[in-house]
Each structure stands twice: as C-alpha cells, then as structure tokens.
A = this chain, B = another copy of it.
Amino acid sequence: MSDAQVRVGEQRPGGRAARVRSDVLQAAAELLTDVGYDQLSVEDVAARAGVHKTTVYRRWPTKSALIADAANLSSEEAVPIPDTGALASDLQAFVRSIVANISSEGGRRRAKSVVVAAACSHDLGKAMHSFWASRLSSSAVMVDRAIERGELPADSDANLIIETLIGPLWVRLLLTGESVSDDLADRVAKLVTAGASSA
C-alpha cells in the first residue's frame, strides 16, 4: 500500500499499456517531424519513448504500420468543415486550415514524410488514400451548400473543385519545394471560387 503511494505520479499501474502506446506514438510523431520517415529508425523511436525496441514491434508489426498510426491516418475524428454562409469564404477558410498544417518547417517535413511512407508501404498507402478520400469527400459539403444557395450550378463537380483548391499547396510542398502562406491560400481560393462560379 505504501508502495502504491510512492508510485503515484510516477507510474500509474493499470494504464501501463495505454501509456506505453501513447508514448511511442508521440515519440514517432516527433521524430517524423524532426528527421523524416527514412531517417527514422524504430530503435530511435523506442529509445525516445523510453521503451525497448521489441515492445514497439510487439504492437506494430513494421515501421510503416507504426508511422501510419503515429500520423493519425486511421483517425476518424471529424475535421471541421467551414460554414460561413458563402462559398468564397468557405473555401478560403478551408485552404487556410490546410496551410496551417504545412507552413511550418516541422509541418512540411511531417506531411512529406507521410507521403513518402505511403509510397513505400502498400498498407500505409491504402490507409492514406482512404484518409484523403474521406477528407475530400466530406469537404464536398461546402460545394453542396453553395449549390443550394444558388451560388453554383447544380452540376458542379464538388470533388474536382476541392482537389483543385488544395492542389497548389501540394505542388509547392512536394514538387517545387516552395513554402505556402495564407496569402497563397487566399489567392487560390479566389481563383477556384471564380472558376467554379462562372462555369
């Protein structure tokens, strides 16, 4: 009983498994941000999590599975879709929310790492594909609302609009290496809003 008190605050038996799991995921996410996917070793993740390498392998069969988990690719948590009452401001807010994730150096590296990992592992690839498919399709509601409001024609291609909206961000991140900014976001949103409206 006295032992229990001594341990309070240091370790709370009962939640060890969960604690280990989150420690490892946290460590993986940090290293992903710091050094990127291919410069990240499972042993380093384990060390940073204060855990032994085999413990990591017990839960995640492979490096990509670990990264898939750490990158939250299977998360179902709904990303909030802007609803400002107008298409232009909806799209603007949407692009800005993505820019927020990939404008910092860490965010850039993390985002690139996930794409790289997805290209290296079939499973992780599928996970990321469905993650983005779901994310994009859920964003289509912005277009639907605009149609209801009469801002857009009824036959507007919601998916295409969203893809075109976020495309330039990834072109810069992955192809030209240029940075992205809120200003870029605003200009893209304006361009795409105009294109969709005048079709």
Contacts and interface: CB of A to CB of B under 8 A. Distances in A.
A167 B161 contact: no
A57 interface: no
Contact of A194 (B132, B163, B166, B199): B199
A117 B152 CA distance: 41
Interface in A132-150: 132-133, 136
Interface in A170-197: 170-172, 174-178, 184, 187-188, 190-197
Interface residue tally on A, bucketed by range? 35 or more
> What secondary structure prevails in chain A residues at the interface with B?
helix
Interface stretch (A23-31, A41-49, A76-84, A108-116): A108-116
Contact of A115 (B36, B119, B126, B128): B119
B164 A174 contact: no
Interface in A64-110: none
Nearest to A161: B191
Contact of A191 (B115, B160, B170): B160
A123 interface: no
A154 interface: no
A4 B89 CA distance: 67
A187 B160 CA distance: 8
A116 B194 CA distance: 34
A172 B129 CA distance: 9
A160 to B, nearest CB: 6
Contacts of A193: 195
Contacts of A192: 164, 191, 195
A158 to B, nearest CB: 12
Contacts of A120: 36, 38, 116
A175 B132 contact: yes
Nearest to A125: B177
The 5 closest A-B pairs by CB, nearest first: A167-B167, A195-B195, A129-B177, A163-B168, A198-B198
